[in-house]
Chains A and B, each alone.
Chain A
Amino acid sequence: DAGITQSPRHKVTETGTPVTLRCHQTENHRYMYWYRQDPGHGLRLIHYSYGVKDTDKGEVSDGYSVSRSKTEDFLLTLESATSSQTSVYFCAISRDRGSKNYGYTFGSGTRLTVV
């Protein structure tokens, strides 16, 4: 278990309101990611981070921002939520090859509904 905790697990919010999702890890991994999962699309990368204050955009970054002020926390913010952002959001960390459990480990997900 990589010790990845996502909060909240479920959230319902209104269109136009700001929303922040939190990802917390306990193993000091450098790389962290935010994905969204939608039916028929698999998982798509929103943003990722390769260190404190080092972030970059993924495939579907429009309407999202991220921050990483500490190694253990990676925040995803929807500045003004829209119905198209209703989705399941996954945080993940990645391990280098040669490490136990090489690859990605995912959090449990956050189900966000924008009404």
Chain B
Amino acid sequence: AQKITQTQPGMFVQEKEAVTLDCTYDTSDPSYGLFWYKQPSSGEMIFLIYQGSYDQQNATEGRYSLNFQKARKSANLVISASQLGDSAMYFCAMREGSGAGSYQLTFGKGTKLSVIP
């Protein structure tokens, strides 16, 4: 079974509108962390936001927020007021556990977001 599932291969959003990118995860470990990364066409991987499994509040970073629903095992990324520069691939990733082996990240297959002017 996939550990990270991103069900939207591609999405379109109008400039200045909000958009939600879906991510569901599968783990039996009570300690885990969820990350979102942005990959523009230039290819670099840019860290956006992090949510820990024990965090009480949803993470926010500027225009990015993470809608964390632990019981449903979902960690959706919300981008408010989309900009043309938000057009990119977006990856959800998970880090399980807290020991030495927990430093590995498992990635979803990504969602390609296109912002329309």
A88 adjacent to B108 (CB under 8 Å): no
Tell me the count of chain A residues lying within 8 A, CB to CB, of chain B: 26
Asked if A106 contacts B107 (CB within 8 A), the reply is: no
Q: Is the pair A42, B91 in contact by a Cβ cutoff of 8 Å?
A: yes
The segment out of A18-26, A43-51, A78-86 that lies at the interface is A43-51
A61 to B34, CA, bound (A): 24
| A108 adjacent to B43 (CB under 8 Å) | yes
When the two chains form their complex, are residues A58 and B104 in contact, meaning their CB atoms are under 8 A apart? yes
Q: Out of A97, A104, A108, name the residue touching B44 (CB < 8 Å).
A: A108
B97 within 8 A of A: no
Q: A40 to B112: give the CA distance in the assembly, Å.
A: 11
Q: Is B105 at the interface (CB under 8 A from chain A)?
A: yes
Q: Which of B17-50 contact A (CB under 8 A)?
A: 33, 35, 37, 43-45, 47, 50
Query: Are A104 and B107 in touch, CB under 8 angstroms?
Result: no
B108/A105 in contact, CB under 8 A? no
Name A104's contact: one of B43, B47, B100, B101 (CB within 8 Å): B47
Most buried by B among A33, A43, A50: A43
- Whether the pair B35, A43 counts as a contact (CB closer than 8 A) is no
**A8 proximal to B (CB < 8 A):** no
**Chain B, residue nearest A96 (CB):** B103
Q: How far is the CA of A75 from the CA of B35 in the complex (A)?
A: 26
The 3 nearest A-B residue pairs measured at CB: A106-B45, A42-B107, A43-B107
B contact residues vs A (CB 8 Å cutoff) = 4, 33, 35, 37, 43-45, 47, 50, 52, 91, 93, 100-101, 103-110
| Chain A residues close to B by CB (< 8 Å) | 31, 33, 35, 40-45, 48, 50, 56, 58, 88, 90, 92, 94, 97, 101-106, 108-109
